[in-house]
Amino acid sequence: MNYTCANCGQEHDDWPALVYPTPLSYAELTDEEKKKAELTSDLCVIQNPTDTYYFVRVVLIQTVVDACQDLDYGVWVSLSEKSFKEYCDNYDNKEFKTTYFGWFNNHIAPYPFETCMGIGTNVEVDNERGRPFIYLHQKENNDLVHDFYTGITTEEATRRIKVALGN
């Protein structure tokens, strides 16, 4: 989709959001386990014999340094039971705003798997705006966190979009 940019007045391609339809923890379940889990476009609950895990769909905005737009990711974080229940209770409450702690729960290319695991995030909920935005907590020697704060190039953003679209 082309659009006229309010920033520079030129025509740009509107980049698609790179969406992960489920948390990584769900994607790794067997078919049998998936039947027992709950999954919607925004919420996911996984139960195993000893524990229950709660996930919500969020937005990660990757800054692109030499472009007029950023690259949006549709990803998932795990929340505590308390946070998840409060989030669900307020799902239709447009005035609901809060901040939760969440663990990042997707494997984003081109980063190695280990790079994407164990990243803490602030989950900024503002129902008037839409899905929560996440802000990654600082972590040393982590390229995903580093790029989130310093930005990627248009060349890199375009490469990621092409990979996501399969061409």
7 binds Zn ion (CB under 5 A): yes
Q: Which is nearer to Zn ion, 24 or 64 (CB)?
A: 64
Euclidean distance between the first and final Cα of the chain, in Å? 17
6 binds Zn ion (CB under 5 A): no
Q: Which of residues 83-122 bind Zn ion (CB under 5 A)?
A: none
Q: Which stretch binds Zn ion (CB under 5 A): 4-12, 18-26, 28-36, 101-109?
A: 4-12
41 binds Zn ion (CB under 5 A): no
Instruction: Report the candidate in 75, 101, 96, 99 with the shortest Cα–Cα distance to residue 21.
Output: 75
Shortest reach from residue 67's CB to Zn ion, in Å: 8
Q: Which of residues 42-71 bind Zn ion (CB under 5 A)?
A: 68
Burial class (CB in 10 A: 0-12, 13-18, 19+), 162: exposed
Shortest reach from residue 154's CB to Zn ion, in Å: 11
Phi-psi sector, 27: left (phi>0), alpha (psi -120 to 50), beta: alpha
DSSP strand pairing (18-19 vs 71-79): parallel
> How far, in whole angstroms, is CA 103 from its chain's centroid?
11
Shortest reach from residue 70's CB to Zn ion, in Å: 12
8 binds Zn ion (CB under 5 A): yes
Where do contacts with Zn ion occur on this chain (CB under 5 A)?
5, 7-8, 68
